Amino acid sequence: MTAQSLLFCGDLVLDEPDPGHWLSGIAPCLRAAQLTVGHLEVPHTGRGREMAADVPAPGADPAHLAALAEAGIDVVTLAGNHMADCGTEGIIDTLAELDRLGIGHCGAGQNLHQARQPAWFETGGLRIAVLSYNCVGPEASWAQAHSAGCAYVRVMAQDGGAITPAAQLHTADKASVQQMAEDLAAARRAGAQLCAVALHKGIVHTPAKLAPYERPLAQAAIDAGADLVLGHHAHILRGIEQYRGRPIFHGLGNGCVVTRALSPDQDNPKRAEWARRRRELFGFEPDPRYFLAPFHPEAVHGMLARVLVEEGRLTAVGFIPLFVEPPGRPTLAQGAAADAVVRYVAHISREAGLPPQSYTVAEDMVRIT
């Protein structure tokens, strides 16, 4: 049986005109895989009310979703802290357009049961389930039995306060982790030969550091039956580990994020205030050249996670290095830029206290052993 190539990218925000242009630097690679999965960060809608629980993201143009299909993205995960920012209408409109385009999705729905369902994909006789969970809140964005929102794993704040992206989140709730385990068991009963779990987790805009709950939660997903775990939300790369022979990519950084919603020069007072406080909160000033992606300077390093699967078994694990060029377009890193990404991933993995690994630069990817 021919090995199946599975590819995973980080956060996707396509607010700007001509979304195909912004994806064009990585699209050939995305199309070449048998399955490509990305995380859709914001709702795509022209309606809905703005939620007040977090710094709200504006809804993106639903027409921009077609660029994802054209670039080769087969499935998107939706359980993130901004997917409910335009309310129920935003979720409904996003799901409807994804369905129209034939893009699989998981992690959000009109109720909690729907949000917890996996996205299914079949390739080369392999049946794959992808599950998606928001770990950082805000709680108002989570789906309930009779209301729309995201699937979630509840992670408790250190001070017992509200669960929000800005809180110091510490320990995953056991009942919530068990709920995730039940979803994985249900996917296996439904015929999944490989299960991927996407976790919207971590500490934003901060190099290397993992919150106390991140490794235990990712490992719990593998204990419950996941074959690989993909992290996103931090908008900067995180380290990689292998647990029980299965990979955990703790943070894929930005897949393609181009938006003016992070600029201080705008009408929305919450977004403007957040942008003004960036230096105080995170200790950096964005490079002005990256006006569509004003993230930490180290966020220019990116990756696409890649695994090869034969007969339902992972046979190779690695990543494809990316470089984000100004003002925010990701490209396949070459030469010295690719070497810099490899060194960076090794460095942040060490800094996070992850087990040591070897990185071998091969023709198809950087292989991890």
> What's the rounded Cα separation, in Å, for the pair 32 and 6?
10
Identify the pLDDT of residue 281.
78
Could you tell me whether strands 254-258 and 4-14 are parallel, antiparallel, or unpaired per DSSP bridges? parallel
Round the average pLDDT of the chain to a whole number and report it. Answer: 94
pLDDT tens figures, 227-270: 999 999 999 999 999 999 999 999 999 999 999 887 766 667 77
Tokens linked to 51: 């939620």
The predicted-structure confidence for 141-174, as pLDDT tens digits, reads as follows 999 999 999 999 999 999 999 999 989 999 999 9
- Comparison of pLDDT for 354 and 285, the residue scoring more: 354
Closest to 295 (Cα-Cα) out of 281, 284, 307, 303: 284
The radius of gyration computed from the CA coordinates of the chain, to the nearest angstrom, equals 19
Beta strand 359-361 pairing with 155-157: unpaired
| pLDDT number for residue 271 | 66
What is the value of pTM for the model shown? 0.96
> Are 151 and 184 a contacting pair, CB within 8 Å?
no
Output the CA–CA distances (angstroms, integers) from residue 198 to 34, 130, 240, 250, 351, in the order listed: 18, 7, 14, 10, 23
DSSP 263-304: SSSSS-HHHHHHHHTHHHHHS----TT-TTS---GGGGEEEE
Q: Is residue 68 a contact partner of residue 30, using CB atoms and an 8 Å limit? A: no
Task: Report the range of poorest mean pLDDT among 196-200, 259-263, 323-327, 338-342.
Answer: 259-263
Split at pLDDT 50, 70, 90, the class of 53 is low
Alpha-carbon distances of 266 from 17, 50, 73, 276, rounded to whole Å: 17, 16, 31, 11
Percent of the chain with pLDDT over 70: 95
Crossing angle of helices 174-189 and 214-223, in 10° steps, is 30
What pLDDT, on a 0 to 100 scale, did the predictor assign at position 74? 98
pLDDT, position 285: 86
Give the residue carrying structure tokens 């994020």. 257
Please report, for residues 18, 262, 362, the alpha-carbon distance to residue 196 in angstroms, rounded to integers and kept in the order given: 31, 30, 24
Q: Which residues of 73-87 are buried (b: 16+ CB within 10 A; e: fewer)?
A: bbbbbbbbbbbbbbb
Specify the pLDDT at position 221.
98
For residue 210, pLDDT beyond 70: yes
Provide the pLDDT for residue 163. Answer: 95
The pLDDT of residue 354 is above 80:
yes
- Check pLDDT > 80 for residue 68: yes
For the domain that residue 308 is a member of, what is the CATH number? 3.60.21.10
Phi-psi region of 30 (alpha: psi -120 to 50; beta: other; left: phi over 0): alpha
Strands 126-134 and 119-123: antiparallel
Rounded mean pLDDT, 18-26? 98
- pLDDT tier for residue 282 given thresholds of 50, 70 and 90: confident
Question: Rounded to an integer, what is the distance from CA 355 to the centroid of its chain?
Answer: 23
Q: For residue 325, list its beta bridge partners.
A: 329
Domain count, the chain: 1
Residue 273 has pLDDT above 90, yes or no: no
Residue 100 has pLDDT above 60, yes or no: yes
Name which of 189, 176, 167, 190 is nearest 220 in CA terms.
176
pLDDT of residue 283: 85
What's the helix, strand, coil split of the chain in %, to 5?
Answer: 30, 30, 40
**Structural domain that includes position 156:** 4-368
Q: How far apart are CA 251 and CA 241, in angstroms?
A: 11
pLDDT value of position 54: 65
